[in-house]
Every structure is written in structure tokens, then in C-alpha cells.
């Protein structure tokens, strides 16, 4: 039985990005040694999208599917204001048929997605 999911973010400055997730986003964490933090994440869901080319990351000597990481919220504009109050700038929101999205820049310079879905989600849904 699958017990959970483990997401890897590859960062050019993992120490700074770990501090961001801990102090700015306030994700609960544990240190597992050597400065490595594991973060508890909010509930998650998975969508499989078609690929337009090679989008892979080598891991454990195997080519793994590439992924894009989005955090979901109920009120994007309010969350953007809250993040701005913490010194975090978000990109201009973009509206699409599936929701309103933006991205936020991590201290490393990398970006992650943030969106308010307008489609049904699996968050809180009961599995059949």
C-alpha cells in the first residue's frame, strides 16, 4: 500500500530555500541530519499532463518524469498580499479556465507555482 508521496525540489541554494519553506511559508519540518529538513506538506493531488518533449530528471540512475510544483490556495490575491508583507513578490496573476495562477521566487532564484483552482479538486475528497 502507498503510504505517501515525497517531492524533490532541486535548488541552487537549498539552505536558503529550506529556510524559506520553514520561516516564510511556515511548513512544519524535522531535521534529519546535516541541515537536511523534511517538510510536511498540505494535502496533495496529482494530475498527469501530456509532455511536448524530454522533461526528465536523473535520479538513482534512472530517468524520472519531470514535474512542476504548485501550491494551491482558496484566495490567491489575499495570499499574495500576505506574502508581499513578508517580502515575497509574486508574478502577475494569470487567469485560465482551470484557475488563477502566479509563481513566487525562492531565495535560490528558482520559482514554484501558486494557484487558486476553479476546477473540482481531490483535496478533501473521499476516495471511492
Averaged pLDDT for residues 6-25: 94
- Do 88 and 24 contact (CB within 8 A), yes or no? yes
The confidence score (pLDDT) of residue 72 equals 95
The confidence score (pLDDT) of residue 104 equals 95
CA atoms within 13 A on the CB side of 28: 3
Check pLDDT > 80 for residue 27.
Answer: yes
Instruction: Read off the pTM.
Output: 0.86
CA distance linking residue 46 with residue 4, whole number of Å: 12
Check pLDDT > 60 for residue 66.
Answer: yes
Averaged pLDDT for residues 38-47: 94
Residue 103 pLDDT level (bands cut at 50, 70, 90) = very high
Amino acid at each position: 500500500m502507498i503510504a505517501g508521496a515525497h517531492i524533490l525540489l532541486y535548488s541552487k541554494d537549498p539552505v536558503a530555500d529550506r529556510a524559506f519553506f520553514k520561516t516564510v511559508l511556515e511548513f512544519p519540518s524535522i531535521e534529519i541530519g546535516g541541515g537536511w529538513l523534511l517538510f510536511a506538506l498540505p494535502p496533495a493531488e496529482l494530475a498527469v499532463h501530456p509532455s511536448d518533449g524530454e522533461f526528465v530528471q536523473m535520479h538513482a540512475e534512472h530517468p524520472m518524469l519531470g514535474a512542476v510544483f504548485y501550491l494551491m490556495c482558496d484566495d490567491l490575491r489575499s495570499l499574495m498580499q500576505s506574502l508581499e508583507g513578508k517580502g515575497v513578490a509574486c508574478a502577475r496573476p494569470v487567469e485560465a479556465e482551470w484557475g488563477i495562477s502566479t509563481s513566487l521566487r525562492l531565495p535560490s532564484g528558482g520559482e514554484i507555482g501558486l494557484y487558486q483552482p476553479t476546477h473540482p479538486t481531490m483535496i478533501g475528497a473521499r476516495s471511492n
